[in-house]
């Protein structure tokens, strides 16, 4: 029987865009969501609302699809292992396991020749932490190893707030040195058995640790571009990627590239590919799972993608008059919550 059913764990906006891409290619999408209300609800062919760890429902979800993917890496790895015993997951558990834990991710990245991350330490207790903070000149961030996103689970450290962490459980955190970067960029790589492709570099602007804007073309020089792409392919190779991997990077003032983090799924900084490329990151995710042959993206326009965060969402009606707007259909506005985005296109030769 033809395999044409995709199970997606998580039903947020990334899941929603994956469902839309699947439909275009006659692939059925089935969502597993822990939330009652979720962005992908009206875009999937079927859904299960259940605690991921409910094995009875997980079995039903596994039976309902041929292949599986994720739209968030914050899923207990035991669930991925459980699915993998029966069916294939894109990317595989090895990739997800590394990318969902900052410590494993940093160890993996630094083990690759020519790849570096920011410096970090692993304080075990308050004394360690004070010593480590001093080592970083009190310019560092305590980051949770797991479950962090959009700056959640992160604490900026300074000389005056150390005592706040007296009772802290440091086991779940790493302490990372703050770098004075010149730019943030990201590269999205998609890999199948047949080929590996990349989306061109975009430049990212964060405010309060949340992505505000991504734009193409990036204003980085050719040498950095080529180095960033080479590093991305090396990482995709070393991690044995199958599917999509987004790689966030810092470019330092001396042009050194540090890898910030990996996302084993489509990425917010790749939304622009839906409007400005012939084949989006979501389309190529579907290609990597069902069709093997990936379609290298051809860029049709210059593009700026702007996130609507929290109350920004209230502007969506008026923005719609001018720009292509995407609504994530979230039930309520929350501070720091990504509610939608809009796209500004411009001619390539302008
Ligand atoms: P998240 O998983 O929340 O995206 P990140 O580690 O990517 O976590 O941090 C979010 C943002 O915070 C980064 O994109 C960057 O703007 C800023 N940031 C994180 N770590 C550092 C660092 N070591 N030095 C400088 N800025 C940082
Ligand atoms: Mg990040």
Q: What are the pLDDT digits (tens) for 212-267?
A: 999 999 999 999 999 999 999 999 999 999 999 999 999 999 999 999 999 999 99
Task: Give the whole-angstrom CA distance, residue 182 versus residue 202.
Answer: 14
Distance 36 CA to ligand 2 centre (A): 26
The bound ligand whose nearest atom lies closest to the alpha carbon of 250 is 1
270 Ramachandran zone, left/alpha/beta (phi>0; psi -120 to 50) = alpha
Q: What is the pLDDT of residue 59?
A: 98
Q: What is the pLDDT of residue 295?
A: 97
Task: Give the whole-angstrom CA distance, residue 189 versus residue 236.
Answer: 7
64 Ramachandran zone, left/alpha/beta (phi>0; psi -120 to 50) = alpha
Q: Within its chain, how far is the Cα of 118 from the centroid?
A: 18
Q: Which residues form ligand 1's pocket by a CB distance below 6 Å? A: 118, 141, 148-151, 176, 178-179, 184, 206, 209, 248, 260-261
Nearest CA to ligand 1 atom 18: 209
Place of tokens 């089935």: 30
Q: What is the pLDDT of residue 1?
A: 78
Residues with beta carbon < 5 A to ion ligand 2? 248
The bound ligand whose nearest atom lies closest to the alpha carbon of 246 is 2
Using the atom order of ligand 1, give the atom closest to the CA of residue 118. Answer: 23
- If one residue of 141, 158, 174 were mutated to test the ligand 1 pocket, choosing by the most ligand atoms within 8 A of its CB, it would be 141
Q: In what order do the strands lie in the sheet with 120-121?
A: 120-121, 173-177, 140-144, 154-157
Q: What is the pLDDT of residue 68?
A: 98
Could you read off the pLDDT of 18-65 as tens digits, one per residue? 999 999 999 999 999 999 999 999 999 999 999 999 999 999 999 999
Q: What is the pLDDT of residue 309?
A: 98
Q: Which helix (H) or strand (E) holds 223?
A: helix 222-238
- If one residue of 119, 144, 148, 151 were mutated to test the ligand 1 pocket, choosing by the most ligand atoms within 8 A of its CB, it would be 151
Supply φ then ψ for residue 202, to 5 degrees. Answer: -115, 155
Distance 250 CA to ligand 1 centre (A): 9
Q: Within its chain, how far is the Cα of 339 from the centroid?
A: 16
The bound ligand whose nearest atom lies closest to the alpha carbon of 139 is 1
User: By C-alpha distance, which of 155, 152, 174 is closest to 106?
Assistant: 174
- Strands (DSSP E) along the chain, which ranges? 5-9, 28-33, 46-49, 67-70, 88-90, 120-121, 140-144, 154-157, 173-177, 181-191, 196-198, 202-207, 210-216, 243-252, 257-263, 302-309, 324-327, 338-346
pTM attached to this predicted model = 0.96
Q: What is the pLDDT of residue 108?
A: 98
Distance 214 CA to ligand 2 centre (A): 13
Q: What is the pLDDT of residue 149?
A: 85
Distance 175 CA to ligand 1 centre (A): 12
User: By C-alpha distance, which of 125, 118, 116 is closest to 141?
Assistant: 118
Distance 147 CA to ligand 1 centre (A): 14
B/e letters for 62-85, b = 16+ CB within 10 Å, e = fewer, are bebbbbbbbbbbebeeebbebbee
Distance 181 CA to ligand 1 centre (A): 11
The answer to whether 191 and 242 have CB atoms below 8 angstroms apart is yes
In three-state secondary structure terms, 47 is strand
Distance 209 CA to ligand 2 centre (A): 8
Show the tokens assigned to 41: 């609800």
The answer to whether 89 and 68 have CB atoms below 8 angstroms apart is yes
Written as tens digits, the pLDDT of the chain (350 aa) is: 789 999 999 999 999 999 999 999 999 999 999 999 999 999 999 999 999 999 999 999 999 999 999 999 999 999 999 999 999 999 999 999 999 999 999 999 999 999 999 999 999 999 999 999 999 999 999 999 999 888 889 999 999 999 999 999 999 999 999 999 999 999 999 999 999 999 999 999 999 999 999 999 999 999 999 999 999 999 999 999 999 999 999 999 999 999 999 999 999 999 999 999 999 999 999 999 999 899 999 999 999 999 999 999 999 999 999 999 999 999 999 999 999 999 999 998 87
Task: Give the whole-angstrom CA distance, residue 62 versus residue 77.
Answer: 15
């Amino acid at each position: 029987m033809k395999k044409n059913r995709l199970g997606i764990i998580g039903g947020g906006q990334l899941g929603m865009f994956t469902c839309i891409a699947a439909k275009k290619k006659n692939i059925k999408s089935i969502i597993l969501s822990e939330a009652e209300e979720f962005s992908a609800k009206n875009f999937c062919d079927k859904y299960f609302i259940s605690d991921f760890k409910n094995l009875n429902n997980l079995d039903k979800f596994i039976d309902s699809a041929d292949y599986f993917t994720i739209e968030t890496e914050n899923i207990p790895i035991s669930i991925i292992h459980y699915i993998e015993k029966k069916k294939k997951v894109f990317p595989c558990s090895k990739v997800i396991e590394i990318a969902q834990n900052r410590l494993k991710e940093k160890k993996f990245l630094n083990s690759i020749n020519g790849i570096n991350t920011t410096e970090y330490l692993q304080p075990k207790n308050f004394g360690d932490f004070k010593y480590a903070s001093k080592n970083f000149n009190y310019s560092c961030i305590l980051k949770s190893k797991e479950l962090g996103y959009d700056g959640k689970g992160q604490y900026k450290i300074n000389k005056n707030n150390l005592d706040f962490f007296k009772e802290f459980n440091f086991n779940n955190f790493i302490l990372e040195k703050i770098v004075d970067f010149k730019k943030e960029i990201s590269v999205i790589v998609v890999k199948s058995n047949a080929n590996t492709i990349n989306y061109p570099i975009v430049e990212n602007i964060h405010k309060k640790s949340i992505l505000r804007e991504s734009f193409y073309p990036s204003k980085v020089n050719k040498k950095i571009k080529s180095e960033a792409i080479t590093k991305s392919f090396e990482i995709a190779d070393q991690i044995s990627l199958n599917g999509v991997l987004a790689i966030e990077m810092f470019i330092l003032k001396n042009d050194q590239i540090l890898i910030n983090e990996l996302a084993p799924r489509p990425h917010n900084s790749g939304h622009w590919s839906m409007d400005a490329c012939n084949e989006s990151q979501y389309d190529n995710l579907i290609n990597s799972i069902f069709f093997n042959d990936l379609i290298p993206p051809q860029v049709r326009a210059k593009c700026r993608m702007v996130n609507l965060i929290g109350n920004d969402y209230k502007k969506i009606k008026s923005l719609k008059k001018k720009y292509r707007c995407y609504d994530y259909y979230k039930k309520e506005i929350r501070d720091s919550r990504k509610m939608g985005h809009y796209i500004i296109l411009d001619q390539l030769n302008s």
